[in-house]
Chains A and B, each alone.
Chain A
Amino acid sequence: MSVLVDENTRLLVQGITGGEGSQHARRSIAYGTNVVAGVTPGRGGQVFDEKVPVFNTVAQAVSETGANVSIIFVPAPGAADAILEAAAAAIPLVVCITEGVPALDMVMVKRTLAGSGTRLIGPNCPGLITPGTHTRVGIMPGDVFTPGSVGVISRSGTLVYEAVAQLTANGVGQSSCVGVGGDPVIGTTQREALEMFNADPDTAAIVLIGEIGGTAEQEAAAYLKAHVKKPVVAFIAGSTAPPGRRMGHAGAIISGNQGTAAAKKAALADAGATVVDSPAEIGVTMKRVLHERGML
């Protein structure tokens, strides 16, 4: 009952001995995730927390432990290198948490990964989680999630926690939650995440959380209109943001009419999504939609 990560996930942490890497490796282990390896160049041979072997290279880690998902906590100047190292080791899923990666680095990375067997989530993202299998490949507070059948897609991190806490409070559990990231160039788009949740037999409904800037929500809406029968509840952050200003996320800058919250909401509503104006009403609206369809 999930997309991308589940009980078969064997997680490698790139940057496991750093501040954030070590903290989140521990939290993922505590959540029940199978963390099999860490990589920190120069620390090969060490054992993290007396449990997880540390390697100098991703290739070594993969060949010794069979790691099949990597999460990256490497600082921004080395993030592109870390992603490409994971891809070169043929890891099928790479999740890059790092924020502040130069856009031209991501252009190069995305072009290199095109046609390869590696899918990238992020960068500048909270990662992903499948509560039903206790698989946390990210930085989310695990205790707000509860197993269920609603898939969540978001560009933002803390806004995922907000939406999920509302779902959980309304008795609506989650299949998987995917934070695609807040940067202009990201590995997996909202549209691609929507395709995965649409194809997942254990996802019955989807929450889509977008924000101002770019046209990714319109592209997701086009797919939604053509292919998705599952109910979708959508929210777009940034209705009140002034044009031309970067609101924290490098992707969140309005330039041109398509980047506005109003244009995105209209596209999603036209595609059949239930669009909420208030971020405080995501959970209660999904509950109502599921109830109306006899799904709850």
Chain B
Amino acid sequence: MKLHEYQAKEILAQFGVPLPAGRVATSPAQARQIAEELGGKVVVKAQIHAGGRGKGGGVKLASSPAEAEQRAADIIGMQLVTPQTGAQGQKVKSVLIAEQTDIARELYLSLLLDSAAGGLVFIASPAGGMDIEEVAATRPEEIHRVVIDPASGYQAYHGRKLAYALGLSGDQLRQALTVFNGVYRAYTASDASLVEINPLVVTNDGRVLALDAKVTIDDNALYRRPDIAAMRDKDEEDPLEVEAQEMGINNYIKLDGNIGCVVNGAGLAMSTMDVIKLAGGEPANFLDIGTVNDPQRVVSAFKIMTKDKAVKGVLINIFGGMARTDVIATGVVEAKRQLDLPNFPIVVRLAGTNVEEGKRIIAESGLPVITADDLGEAARKAVAAVQGL
């Protein structure tokens, strides 16, 4: 789960990470009041989940409380388009009002899971304030990695190694150790999957501050972090994906094609998308329906999928292991009867548990359902049917 910058900073502040003074505002008047408290010279930052906010005009400087109010009025309510939002942009509901800082150096710091090492790894670079993947590709010698042994956790020597790699010494090294320690504790205490500070700045007056912050939480751990789960902002998510979750379909992701997919299992669902593409079509979604023991779930999947008006037909690919193909078949027949789907080809490929019964249910329904025995055939038939409309 993604968090807003201000939420990420609230978490980091609890663990002693030094930050520029600031608070979130949801109205221009509130922005003005916070700017007054901060002495007038502030930065106004749009709070959306996507990155690249500055490029889209979502980050503005203000030199007085009145100007902060004006900038906040400009930004709150705008559809902010950044390189990460897509062309339609994302509506801004709040702004972070923070003190301005005089920056001497911009550094990069993140803590994330290193699957290969089976532990957490700090990544630091003196090349802060830019796209870190770009730095890694062009100047790999400027990327420093320190793996933390989960048995002993973060130790000060890890921090010293990072700080020296960043060219910090003396009082700034001491401040940096506070940052590293706080980031590690915030990560583990919130079940994060990423904490990224870009940039981590050294100010002209010698302070080390987390100027920006991004925190992503491990969805699997939200059950034990209710305070963080409450920070979820559904307005930042695709409305169809939110609706799918409310209907019990947790793994729906909308894509840009026109062939809807209903599949069991994440790996098979990705493969079904791949095989549609190879057959010359475009998948409209990723949808892992999971282990289905209720036909109504199939009807729900159809409802979600067909709310995307780009969808012209559907490929259902079920390899029953835990899931029963007869239940799926019943669900397909129900969906076709309940929903008004004229000129909407339905291609069904069933295999595995109770497949004979599943095929019989489809055949006896008398509905115009196109059947296929294997994955390649199913994809070819789905592409041909949709292209033939």
Contacts and interface: CB of A to CB of B under 8 A. Distances in A.
B218 interface: yes
Interface stretch (B15-23, B92-100, B261-269): B261-269
A144 B267 CA distance: 18
B188 interface: yes
Nearest to B188: A104
A107 B267 contact: no
Interface stretch (A40-48, A149-157, A193-201): A149-157
A280 B374 contact: yes
Given A157-B267, A182-B266, A279-B271, A141 B353 contact: yes
B220 A101 contact: yes
A271 interface: no
Interface string A108-121: 10111010000000
Interface string A216-244: 10010000000000000001011111100
B375 interface: yes
Interface residues of A, number: 63
Contacts of B253: 242, 245, 247
Interface string B305-321: 00000000000000111
A162 B151 CA distance: 39
B274 A209 contact: no
Given A107-B120, A241-B286, A247-B270, A158 B221 contact: no
B278 A211 contact: no
B44 interface: no
Interface stretch (B4-12, B110-118, B335-343, B362-370): B110-118
Given A139-B321, A161-B321, A216-B115, A102 B271 contact: no
Interface stretch (A7-15, A50-58, A82-90, A248-256): A248-256
Contacts of B264: 158
A248 B251 contact: yes
B178 to A, nearest CB: 22
Interface in A14-67: 20
A103 interface: yes
Nearest to B351: A165
Contacts of B251: 247-248
Nearest to A126: B321
Contacts of B133: 256-257
Nearest to A219: B116
B278 A277 contact: yes
Instruction: Point out which of A182, A216, A280 has the most chain B C-beta atoms below 10 A from its C-beta.
Output: A280
B327 to A, nearest CB: 14
A184 B115 contact: yes
A235 B116 CA distance: 20
A227 B152 CA distance: 35
A280 B266 contact: no
Contacts of A102: 191, 218, 220-221, 224
B255 interface: yes
A280 B275 contact: yes
Nearest to B119: A107
Contacts of B224: 77, 102
A141 to B, nearest CB: 5
B271 A141 contact: no
Contacts of A20: 322
B170 interface: no
B113 A156 contact: no
A162 B218 CA distance: 29
B151 A104 contact: no
A269 interface: no
B193 A103 contact: yes
A280 B375 contact: yes
B116 to A, nearest CB: 6
Nearest to B263: A158
Interface in A262-278: 277-278
A290 interface: no
B268 A278 contact: no
A111 B273 contact: no
Given A141-B321, A165-B351, A215 B116 contact: yes
Contacts of B263: 158
Contact of A237 (B151, B221, B255, B267): B267
B379 interface: yes
A158 B265 contact: yes
A278 B220 contact: no
Contacts of B273: 238, 240-241
Contacts of A158: 263-265, 267-268, 319, 321
Interface string B117-148: 01110000000000001001100000000000
Contacts of B260: none
A281 interface: yes
Given A184-B115, A214-B115, A209 B351 contact: no
A75 B332 CA distance: 30
A294 to B, nearest CB: 27
A171 to B, nearest CB: 15
A254 B159 CA distance: 29
A250 B220 contact: yes
A139 B266 contact: no
B11 to A, nearest CB: 15
Contacts of B255: 240, 242
A19 to B, nearest CB: 10
Given A104-B191, A237-B271, A185 B118 contact: yes
A289 interface: no
Contact of A278 (B120, B136, B274, B352): B274
Contact of A240 (B223, B266, B277, B353): B277
B48 to A, nearest CB: 15
Given A139-B322, A156-B266, A279 B275 contact: yes
A1 interface: no
Given A248-B269, A248-B270, 14 more contacts: A102-B220, A103-B220, A107-B113, A111-B151, A155-B267, A166-B374, A185-B115, A209-B267, A219-B116, A246-B219, A256-B136, A277-B274, A279-B275, A280-B376
User: Shortest 7 CB-CB distances between A and B: which pairs?
Assistant: A156-B267, A248-B266, A158-B265, A280-B376, A159-B267, A102-B221, A279-B271
12 contacts: A103-B220, A111-B118, A141-B352, A141-B353, A155-B267, A156-B268, A166-B374, A182-B266, A237-B268, A242-B255, A248-B251, A248-B286
